């Protein structure tokens, strides 16, 4: 544990330590990875959660009771995803915070320009959130797809000046299911209706058995990422 907490202004001095810890903690339990980060940044840590499943929220709240768990409400979140977030808030006691895009009303941007829509509804609210935090916990996993295959459990995001924490980076789909089962967590109903990956309703389609699990995200477009993790 460091003598002084890491801050936005001194975080860059710890970049090598973060890289070394990413190797050392690669096989650590997700709880220990979140705790390692929280010991270094104190309460200046936030979790962004898609609520595709309950695992990340549960891991974070077990590791750091009361930790803020954020849903970025793009205005196009599935009702089932809202349901799961509220279940975890009401029955599991997570400290849920809903963040809305600034100065945006529902429109048809997703039909015309998905990059711009994701930017205003996801990336900008995230960047504003991270201006106030040194640590950022995410649910990114290597099995999500080729662009995420090298995801470390810890990294220094120099552009946002944050310690990025990916405690589930090495978890397989089977391990996610086992975790849900072990802790009897509520489940996003869409998971059992052909949606292995869940984003906004206009840009998420169900996939056929055996199909790439992110094939339903922005189907028919080149786009594979919303911009939060690039």
What is residue 95's three-state secondary structure? strand
CB 43 within 8 A of CB 134: no
Q: ∠ CA 124-128-134 to the nearest 5 degrees?
A: 130
From candidates 199, 207, 214, 216, binder to ligand SF4 by CB under 6 A: 199
Give least dist CB 101 to ligand SF4, A.
Answer: 9
CB 114 within 8 A of CB 203: yes
Select the span of 56-64, 110-118, 138-146, 185-193 touching ligand SF4 (CB under 6 A): 110-118
From candidates 126, 203, 207, 216, binder to ligand SF4 by CB under 6 A: 203
Select the span of 42-50, 135-143, 148-156, 197-205 touching ligand SF4 (CB under 6 A): 197-205
From candidates 200, 207, 214, 216, binder to ligand SF4 by CB under 6 A: 200
141 touches ligand SF4 (CB under 6 A) = no
125 touches ligand SF4 (CB under 6 A) = no
The tokens for 146 are: 């080729």
202 touches ligand SF4 (CB under 6 A) = yes
Q: Give all strands of the β-sheet with 45-48 in edge-to-edge order.
A: 95-99, 68-72, 45-48, 135-137, 162-165, 154-157
197 touches ligand SF4 (CB under 6 A) = no
169 touches ligand SF4 (CB under 6 A) = no
The maximal CA–CA distance of the chain, rounded, in angstroms, is 52
CB 46 within 8 A of CB 70: yes
Distance of CA 175 to the CA centre of its chain: 17
Select the span of 46-54, 87-95, 115-123, 146-154 touching ligand SF4 (CB under 6 A): 115-123
35 vs 229, which CB is nearer to ligand SF4? 229
Which of 49, 4, 59, 3 is CA-nearest to residue 28? 59
49 labelled catalytic: no
Is the torsion defined by CA of 134, 48, 62, 59 positive or negative?
A: negative
156 touches ligand SF4 (CB under 6 A) = no
117 touches ligand SF4 (CB under 6 A) = yes
**Which residues are annotated as catalytic?**
226
């Amino acid at each position: 544990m460091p003598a002084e907490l890491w801050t936005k202004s001194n975080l860059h001095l710890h970049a090598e330590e973060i890289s070394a810890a990413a190797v050392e903690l690669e096989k650590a339990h997700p709880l220990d990875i979140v705790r390692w980060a929280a010991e270094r940044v104190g309460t200046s840590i936030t979790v962004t959660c898609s609520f595709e499943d309950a695992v990340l929220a549960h891991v974070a709240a077990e590791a750091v009771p009361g930790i803020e768990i954020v849903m970025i409400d793009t205005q196009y979140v599935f009702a089932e995803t809202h349901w799961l977030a509220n279940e975890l808030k009401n029955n599991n006691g997570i400290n849920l915070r809903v963040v809305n895009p600034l100065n945006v009303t529902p429109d048809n941007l997703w039909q015309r320009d998905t990059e711009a829509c994701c930017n205003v509804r996801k990336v900008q609210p995230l960047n504003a959130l991270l201006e106030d935090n040194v640590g950022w916990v995410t649910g990114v996993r290597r099995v999500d797809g080729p662009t995420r295959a090298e995801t470390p459990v810890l990294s220094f995001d120099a552009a946002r000046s944050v310690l990025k924490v990916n405690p589930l980076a090495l978890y397989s789909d089977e391990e996610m299911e086992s975790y849900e089962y072990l802790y009897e967590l509520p489940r996003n109903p869409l998971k059992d209706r052909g949606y292995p990956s869940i984003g906004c309703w206009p840009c998420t389609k169900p996939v056929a058995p055996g199909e790439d699990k992110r094939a339903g995200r922005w189907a028919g477009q080149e786009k594979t990422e919303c911009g939060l993790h690039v």
